[in-house]
Amino acid sequence: MEIRNVAIIAHVDHGKTTLVDGLLKQSGTFRDNQKVAERAMDSNDLERERGITILAKCTSVEWDGYRLNIVDTPGHADFGGEVERILSMVDGVVVLVDAAEGPMPQTKFVTQKALGLGLKPIIVINKADRPDARPNEVLDECFDLLVALDANEEQLDFPVLYASAKEGWAVTDLSEPKENLHPLFDLIVRHVKAPEVNENAPFRMLVTTIESNPYLGRLLTGRVESGVLKTNDPIKGLSRKGGKIEDARATKILAFRGLERETITAARAGDIVSVAGLVRTTVADTLGTPEETEPLDAQPIDPPTISMTF
C-alpha cells in the first residue's frame, strides 16, 4: 500500500481532534457501530490535564488504497529540535485554522518550521459553519502569514479547503454541496508527496518519540528512512555523534492503525512505526543495522582537545 505522511498544525481549539475523529470515521477505519471511544489525539491524561499536546502521536487511516499517517505536532515551544524531528517524518502539512479566529501564534511557530524544511502546506479553514466565520479574510491572513514566514513560490501556491470538522465536511468552494471530508482525503493523497526513501539501502530510522508501554516496555517511534526491518532483526542504537549505544533486536514492530497500533512482521521504508527491544537508545538517536555508523540527526563531534606541552 502506498503511504502518505502528513502532519497537522493547529492552534489549540481550532479543531484538530474533531477533524481527526472525522477522518477516522469517514475512512471506514471504524465500523459504523463502533464509537470513537477515545478522542484521537487527546488520549493522554497528562495532556488533557494540561490542555496541551506533549507527545507527537500518529493516527493512521486508509483511503482509496493509500495509508495516510497523520502526525500530530506539539504546539509548545521547541525543545532541542523536537518539532523539526517530528516534521522530518512527513512530506506535507495540513494547517488547520479557525475561520473566525484566523491564524494564531501556535500556528505560526510550527508553520515556520515546516516551511523551513521545505514542506508544502494545505490550508484548511475550519469551523466554516460558525455564524461569525470570515473565511475570505482568514484566507488572506493565511496567505500573509506564509509570505511573512518566507514561504517559497511553490509553498505559496497552496490548496485551500473550507471545512466543518464538527459537521464532517470539506469543500473547495463554499457554494458546493457540503457532504463529507472526501475532498480532504483526496487532497492529501494528491498534494502530499510519496515518501522519498530508499527501500534497497540498509535499514535506518531516526527515533522521534519514546514512550513506555506496560506490556512491551520502551517503544521507539519514527519513520523508516531506508530499508526493511523484520521482527527479531539485529539492530544497533547509534548516538548523534555516531557512537554505538547498544546492540539489540527488534523484538516487536508496531504500525499505526486507526487510533491503535498493530503488530507487524516487517516495517518498510516510508512507514511510521514503533520498535521495541532497545534499552538505552532514545529520542534523536538512530536505529540501524549492526554495521551502521552514520546517524540520521548527526551532531557535530566535539572539537578535539588540544593539549600542548612545552
Distance, in Å, from the CA atom of 162 to the CA atom of 52, rounded to the nearest integer, reads 25
* Owner of C-alpha cell 470538522: 165
44-63: contacts with ligand GDP (CB under 6 A): none
Shortest Å distance, C-beta 220 to ligand GDP: 26
Shortest Å distance, C-beta 75 to ligand GDP: 9
Nearer to ligand GDP, 47 or 62 (CB): 47
Burial of 178 (0-12, 13-18, 19+ CB in 10 A): middle
- In terms of phi and psi (left: phi > 0; alpha: psi -120 to 50; beta: otherwise), the region of 51 is left
Nearer to ligand GDP, 18 or 111 (CB): 18
Q: Which residues make beta-bridge pairs with 229? A: 267
Question: Segment contacting ligand GDP (CB under 6 A): 9-17, 23-31, 140-148, 199-207?
Answer: 9-17
Shortest Å distance, C-beta 169 to ligand GDP: 9
Nearer to ligand GDP, 114 or 269 (CB): 114
- Total number of residues that touch ligand GDP (CB under 6 A): 15
- In terms of phi and psi (left: phi > 0; alpha: psi -120 to 50; beta: otherwise), the region of 9 is beta
Q: Which residues make beta-bridge pairs with 220? A: 210, 275
Can you give the length of the chain in residues? Answer: 310
Shortest Å distance, C-beta 34 to ligand GDP: 20
Shortest Å distance, C-beta 221 to ligand GDP: 20
- Per CB under 6 A, the list member of 166, 178, 191, 257 interacting with ligand GDP is 166
Shortest Å distance, C-beta 222 to ligand GDP: 24
Question: Segment contacting ligand GDP (CB under 6 A): 84-92, 150-158, 160-168, 278-286?
Answer: 160-168
Instruction: For residue 126, state whether it binds ligand GDP (rule: CB under 6 A).
Output: yes
Instruction: For residue 15, state whether it binds ligand GDP (rule: CB under 6 A).
Output: yes
Nearer to ligand GDP, 12 or 147 (CB): 12
Q: Per the annotation, where are the binding residues for GTP?
A: 13-18
- Per CB under 6 A, the list member of 4, 5, 16, 111 interacting with ligand GDP is 16
- Per CB under 6 A, the list member of 27, 29, 164, 239 interacting with ligand GDP is 164
Question: Segment contacting ligand GDP (CB under 6 A): 123-131, 144-152, 175-183, 267-275?
Answer: 123-131
Residues 6+ apart with CB under 8 A from 231: 250, 251, 252, 253, 265, 266
Shortest Å distance, C-beta 195 to ligand GDP: 26
Can you give the binding site for ligand GDP, defined by CB under 6 A? Answer: 10, 12-18, 126-127, 129-130, 164-166
